[in-house]
A and B are shown apart, each in its own frame.
Chain A
């Protein structure tokens, strides 16, 4: 579950990557885990953002000039989770577990600590 502080940290990370290219990278049914790649168009620098226990995804498979924002969300059965949107691109994802940035190693993303739930 993500708290307000977690949501804030994710939004700081997204703000730093505003303007990047966003590309669908992978979906795995285990943990219902979806990965999106963010890539800087000029430097080629990239990072993955992993959304686990996601239950709704909508949007284009890639788009330029991304502007992602994270909000708290409650599932129909009352579980707390996240909703991440890029309204201009029409992208939307909702889930009830966590958002992990990169490989979860905070040293790779200095301004946005990864958010992890230690689910099995």
Chain B
């Protein structure tokens, strides 16, 4: 068992006893790809990139599997809602979008909208074991989301 765990570690996969940061990668005000990393630092969590060593595993199917694996093994899921909604009572809109799947599903005003973070939050919300260990943050503060 110990040997297998070390093999995993050598492949850049996984270490246990971590909190997983979830949220938009791109900062909504500047466009820079630092938003999730900043949030992760703020809450003392790891990002997908920290855990797997890179952000893109080659296919969306592998990405989905990797995300679910990290979510399952994380101690807490620290979810940043900033940039996804403007008010906390808009939380159900994230679930509605997330239910459509991990791939981009809509084009608004000529822009293809990504859906990974919406899907992650929907998955957490719909999976009791994940929901129990999720902490939602809005404007940097932990808060409860509408049931």
Contact = CB atoms under 8 A, between A and B. Distances in A.
B111 A25 contact: yes
Interface string A75-99: 0000000000000000000000000
Contact of A48 (B30, B32, B109): B109
A35 B112 contact: yes
Contacts, number: 48
B111 A46 contact: yes
Interface residues of B, number: 13
A47 B29 contact: no
Contact of B110 (A22, A35, A62): A35
A112 interface: no
Interface string A8-19: 000000000000
A21 B30 contact: yes
A48 B112 CA distance: 8
Contact of B28 (A44, A64, A101): A44
Contacts of A47: 109-111
A115 interface: no
B26 interface: yes
Contacts of B33: 62
Interface string B26-50: 1011111100000000000000000
B31 A103 contact: no
A25 B109 contact: no
A41 B26 contact: no
A50 B110 contact: yes
A102 interface: yes
Interface string B93-108: 0000000000000011
B109 A62 contact: no
A68 to B, nearest CB: 15
Interface of B: 26, 28-33, 107-112
